[in-house]
Amino acid sequence: MTELPDPFEYRHIDADGTTIHAAVGGSGDPVLLLHGYPQTHLMWRHVARELARDHTVVVPDLRGYGASDKPTPDEDNVRYSKRAMAADQVAVMRALGFDRFALVGHDRGARVSHRLTLDHPEAVSRLAVLDIVPTRHVLTHVDLQLARGYFHWFFLATGGDVPETLLAGAPEFWIRTMVERLLAPGSVIEPEVMDHYVAAFADPACIAGSTADYKAGATTDLADDEASHDAGARVTCPVLVLWGDRSFVGKAYEPLDVWREYADDVRGTALPVGHFLPEEAPEQVLAELRSFLG
């Protein structure tokens, strides 16, 4: 499988100069699903079709990933900031006729979702974040456990083209290793889907863009998050937090307590899986989302 099945149709949508590749399907209140690293929109394959029974579901590739545009990274890490990536998605939804929508993000997509909700609060009716705590909290609570669990955050943020050069030499090894180490024991991803992730990531422009995503996380994004925190900005719409009890998030944090420092109306639960909730426990994710989205 390399595409979502019916009722989804694929579109290339201009987001203020950046072309975003997205699958759109269903009818009803709109829901935007944002994927994480090192994947594409296809990670929502078990969730999107069922949600489309009751909602218009939009499932894009983030800039730098999949079949979306991959702008050349800039020295200030602005092009791959979560602010820029969030603006892409607001433009996509407006192009589709949606000024307000529910938002669900996993991993990097959840970080884009957090920034989108802070920058465009009028656009987001409900926010669901899967297996993250806010970037600011992660980077201001660094210890040995984090350095070992999230080592890729620091490796990918290294300058001098070090990560790009090394990953270009073994992209398949990197993707398979990163995914497999974050799955719960016994969880698997279909071979054809893993092949799709590997093929998408083997593109040098994807390696450059996705690496720039992490460089932005440690620089521009952190500065933006600190500025929002200092200004007292909080997420005011309802927030659903889901995490894997076998993931790093589940082992290292009390996710609901952390999110309540950043948002006013927080609920959620752990699921008995690793990091990739929509792929490891799609039925449970669907049940939680349906209850939350209404």
Of 1-5, 19-23, 195-199, the least confident: 1-5
Contact 94, 116 (CB under 8 A): no
Q: Is the pLDDT of residue 255 over 90?
A: yes
Assess whether pLDDT exceeds 80 at residue 131: yes
- pLDDT band at 2, cuts 50/70/90? confident
State the average pLDDT over residues 154-162.
95
CB contact at 8 A, 220 and 78: yes
pLDDT of residue 73: 97
Q: What is the pLDDT of residue 50?
A: 97
- Cα 243 vs. chain centroid, distance in angstroms? 13
| Catalytic pick among 35, 41, 55, 275 | 275
10 Å CB burial of residue 211 (0-12, 13-18, 19+) is buried
Summarize the confidence of residues 116-135 as an average pLDDT.
98
Q: Which residues have a Cβ under 8 Å from the Cβ of 147 and sit 6 or more positions away? A: 154
Confidence of residue 83 (pLDDT cuts 50, 70, 90): very high
Q: How far is CA 44 from the centre of its chain?
A: 11
Whether 275 is catalytic is: yes
User: Can you give the pLDDT at residue 242?
Assistant: 98
How high does pLDDT run on average in the chain?
A: 97
Task: Please say whether the beta carbons of 59 and 23 come within 8 A.
Answer: yes
Burial of 169 (0-12, 13-18, 19+ CB in 10 A): exposed
> What is the band of 264 on the pLDDT scale with cuts at 50, 70, 90?
very high
Question: Is pLDDT of 40 > 90?
Answer: yes
The amino acid that residue 275 corresponds to is H
**How many other CB atoms are there within 10 angstroms of residue 200's CB atom?**
21
Look up tokens 């590997």; give the residue.
198
- The answer to whether residue 152 is catalytic is no
pLDDT tier, 235 (very low <50, low <70, confident <90, very high otherwise):
very high
Helix (H, G, I), strand (E, B) or coil at 186: coil
Q: What is the pLDDT of residue 238?
A: 98
| Mean predicted confidence (pLDDT) in 246-272 | 98
Contact predicate 273/244, CB 8 Å: yes
Q: Is the pLDDT of residue 1 over 80?
A: no
Mean pLDDT of 71-84: 97
Asked if 41 and 35 count as a contact pair (C-beta separation under 8 A), the reply is: yes
**Any idea which architecture 9-293 has in CATH?**
3-Layer(aba) Sandwich (3.40)
Domain positions in the chain:
9-293
Catalytic member of 88, 107, 221, 224: 107
CA terminus-to-terminus distance, the chain = 29
